[in-house]
Amino acid sequence: MFNFSIKVDGRAAAGLLQQIELCSELQISNLEIDDDVGGQPIVELTGAELERYRSLLIEHHKKIVLLNGSKPAIDYDYYKKLLTKALQLQAEHIKIPAIGQEADEEVETEALCRLVQAAKAYGIGLVVENDSSTTLSDDRGVTAFYGRMKDGNTGIVFNPLEFVRRKAHPFFHVYYSSKLKGDIRFLRVNDGLFADGRPVLPGQGNAEVKELASILLKRSYRGYFSFTPYMEEKTDEAGYRSMLDSFKKMLKEL
């Protein structure tokens, strides 16, 4: 009924096997990983190493639903390699980071269109995420950037805490008026305070996570509720359990 995904903190579990094992302990099947699991770049994995990773995923009934890219969209050669590896690992989405967006708009738009077409050929979705420290800090910035790449296999990672850090209400100010409602593929389950941006457990801050989850589910949301190590002191198994328990309590109250 609900699709949960998790990005494991590398300090708690460095390698892919350790991350898979933590996901199993938390009873979550959907995994989010960086492009350098255990310090080893995905794009540099050999055929044998890829096969070992793929076997681990199969053996433990896990799926990579989000692979985080680390290069700007204009680095096509990097993404071409990453797409090839992602296909072999059966990854669902690749996230283009909110970096390097100072590139010439025409050049960047051309690169985005090329990248979108390549991803479509591989059957892999491309997503972008709002980030308070970049040009994708608000709905206007995200809409403008995303508008240059929007396609049938693209989507949005909606991060409430990053909007809170800009002192914007994620539900009432952003989601409610956004043109991207139907493009959300991942909702970050996090929270924080307007006063200082300090992260807190879901439901204890100003991120309006309950309202966001409620409206998305009413719109037949089939995307992921994503759990990430956004709280420095809660990066171990117990920390993730506290986040999960807080959110599950919200869902039961809807």
Say what the pLDDT of residue 108 is.
85
Say what the pLDDT of residue 37 is.
87
- What integer is the mean pLDDT of 89-117? 86
Say what the pLDDT of residue 232 is.
86
Contact 137, 131 (CB under 8 A): yes
Domain that holds residue 20: 7-253
What percentage of the chain carries pLDDT values higher than 70? Answer: 98
The answer to whether residue 114 sits within a structural domain is: yes
Which residues of the chain form beta strands (DSSP E)?
A: 4-7, 30-34, 63-68, 93-95, 125-129, 154-158, 184-188, 224-227
The answer to whether residue 184 sits within a structural domain is: yes
pLDDT tens track for 199-212: 999 999 999 999 99
CA 79, CA 126: separation in Å to the nearest integer?
11
Which band of pLDDT confidence, cut at 50, 70 and 90, is reported for residue 100? low
pLDDT tens track for 58-81: 999 999 999 999 999 899 999 999
Relative to beta strand 4-7, strand 30-34 is: parallel
Contact 116, 77 (CB under 8 A): no
The answer to whether residue 180 sits within a structural domain is: yes
- Within 13 Å and on the Cβ side, how many CA atoms surround 246? 18
pLDDT tens track for 142-155: 999 999 999 999 99
- What integer is the mean pLDDT of 242-251? 96
Say what the pLDDT of residue 91 is.
98
- What integer is the mean pLDDT of 106-120? 92
The answer to whether residue 1 sits within a structural domain is: no
- What integer is the mean pLDDT of 43-62? 97
The answer to whether residue 11 sits within a structural domain is: yes
Q: Is the pLDDT of residue 44 over 60?
A: yes
Write down the pTM of the prediction: 0.96
- What integer is the mean pLDDT of 216-222? 95
Say what the pLDDT of residue 103 is.
63
- What integer is the mean pLDDT of 47-55? 96
Which band of pLDDT confidence, cut at 50, 70 and 90, is reported for residue 102? low
CB atoms within 10 A of CB 199: 20
- What integer is the mean pLDDT of 123-131? 97
The answer to whether residue 55 sits within a structural domain is: yes
CA 178, CA 12: separation in Å to the nearest integer?
36
The answer to whether residue 182 sits within a structural domain is: yes
Q: Is the pLDDT of residue 1 over 80?
A: no
* DSSP code of residue 192: B
Identify the bridge partners of residue 192 per DSSP, sorted by sequence position: 199
The answer to whether residue 107 sits within a structural domain is: yes
CA 92, CA 113: separation in Å to the nearest integer?
19
- Averaged confidence pLDDT in the chain: 94
Contact 223, 2 (CB under 8 A): no
Q: Is the pLDDT of residue 235 over 90?
A: no
If one counts the domains in the chain, the total is 1
Contacts for 97 with CB less than 8 Å, ≥ 6 apart: 68, 69, 70, 71, 72, 129
57's torsion region: left (phi>0), alpha (psi -120 to 50) or beta?
alpha
CA triple 116-219-145, angle to 5 deg: 30
CATH code of residue 162: 3.20.20.150
